Amino acid sequence: MTGTLRPALGGDMRRRELFLFFGGAIVGWSQGARAQRRTGIRHIGFISGQAENDPDGQSRLAAFLKGMQGLGWTVGKTLDIDIRWSAGSAENTLKHVAELVALKPDVILSSGTPSVTALLQATKSIPIVFAQVIDPVGAGHVASLARPGGNATGFTPFEYGTSAKWLEFLKQIVPGMTRCAVIRDARVTTGTAQFAAIQGAASAKGVDLTPIGFRDVGEIERSVAAFARNSQTDGLIVTQSTLSIVHRELISKLAAQYRLPAIYAYRFYVTGGGLMSYGPDTLDPYRRAASYVDRILKGEKPADLPVQAPTKYELAINLKTAKALGLSVPQSIVATADEVIE
């Protein structure tokens, strides 16, 4: 697939190549002068809370563009796309949202709750498709899952109740666990709601929870260190959030440093050395989002397109990490895991 991608204007972007993977082919592109809006070309925006150099973020964008390609759209011929990466920064999110809205694209594809919230505050007319919003009804993004009613619709990564599964799986691997820290994004209500779901299961499991709400790197380093020094029967749950994804290498490093058995929301934590994960395929909603963007470009309204839930959850285990922590993973968990790293 060839064509012109139009990332955010800026010093770094003018010098940097953007690499996307479409079916094994690499498309390289260098920023030049911004092309004028061309007659007959549909225009979409894309904003991600991840950093531009994050391989997972690039994979999500590539999955979406490959989906668009499969529906007959060709970037540079029938489609132009403006791309923004916020890297977990609230300031960047607001700036990039303002830029995209000013461009008046036909559709904007967004990822997590912070960017969708900012978009809906900035526009009530541009269609928005989101790919990673946990509770769009509770956040006020849509009127209902079945009939969103406004200018936004999309895909949820999981329901809050799924968060309790993280504690259940971790308790099976660490049966003596009595204390567990829960890392959550303190900026958004979804972090509080995920913690509440875990808390609902904690008393029955005999586990005391310690919420760690973080806004920057220093805060999470201090909080994890303070928690870990107080007991030998601790665990760690890392909830789903843009910030936890952006800082996943640091979080995994801290878990290893303090020998904390940890469970995460996504499989890429485990392939990066984390102990265990349970959650949806991170690429699937971006593939599916292509169909919604296609339908909107062809005249349908977000208000009439129902919000969709994940079709599959994945359990991943890293037995190397378990061994390093001195843990024995029950065979019942290994047998049901979708991925086991040995």
Give the C-alpha separation, 92 to 112, whole Å.
14
> What are the pLDDT digits (tens) for 118-144?
999 999 999 999 998 988 998 899 999
pLDDT of residue 193: 85
Instruction: Determine the CATH number of domain 5-157+282-304.
Output: 3.40.50.2300
Where does the pLDDT of residue 30 fall: very low under 50, low under 70, confident under 90, or very high at 90 and above?
A: very low
What single string gives the DSSP state of each residue in 165-222?
HHHHHHHHH-TT--EEEEEEETTSHHHHHHHHHHHHHHHHHT-EEEEEEESSHHHHHH
Is-contact 84 93, C-beta < 8 A? no
Give the C-alpha separation, 221 to 224, whole Å.
6
Residue 61 has pLDDT above 50, yes or no: yes
Give the C-alpha separation, 202 to 310, whole Å.
25
Share of the chain above pLDDT 90, in %: 65
The angle that helices 284-297 and 55-70 make with each other, rounded to 10 degrees, is: 40
- For 115, other C-beta atoms within 10 Å of its C-beta total 28
Phi-psi region of 77 (alpha: psi -120 to 50; beta: other; left: phi over 0): alpha
> What are the pLDDT digits (tens) for 154-181?
999 888 888 999 999 999 999 999 999 9
Where does the pLDDT of residue 39 fall: very low under 50, low under 70, confident under 90, or very high at 90 and above?
A: low
Give the C-alpha separation, 238 to 327, whole Å.
19
> What are the pLDDT digits (tens) for 240-261?
888 888 888 999 999 999 999 9
- Comparing CA positions, the residue from 246, 212, 242 lying closest to residue 227 is 212
Write down the pTM of the prediction: 0.78
> What are the pLDDT digits (tens) for 259-316?
999 999 999 899 999 999 999 988 999 999 999 999 999 999 999 999 999 888 899 9
Mean pLDDT, rounded, for 217-229: 88
> What are the pLDDT digits (tens) for 81-104?
999 999 989 999 999 999 999 999
Question: Which residues, listed in sequence order, are joined to residue 114 by a DSSP beta bridge?
Answer: none
Where does the pLDDT of residue 218 fall: very low under 50, low under 70, confident under 90, or very high at 90 and above?
A: confident
Share of the chain above pLDDT 70, in %: 88
pLDDT of residue 236: 96
pLDDT of residue 42: 96
Instruction: Determine the CATH number of domain 160-281+313-341.
Output: 3.40.50.2300
Residue-averaged pLDDT of the chain? 86
Mean pLDDT, rounded, for 205-234: 85
Kindly list the domain boundaries of the chain, sorted by start residue: 5-157+282-304, 160-281+313-341
Distance of CA 280 to the CA centre of its chain: 10
pLDDT of residue 37: 60
pLDDT of residue 215: 74
The SS3 assignment for 125 reads coil
Running DSSP on this structure, what letter comes out for residue 75?
B
Give the C-alpha separation, 265 to 280, whole Å.
8
Mean pLDDT, rounded, for 26-42: 49
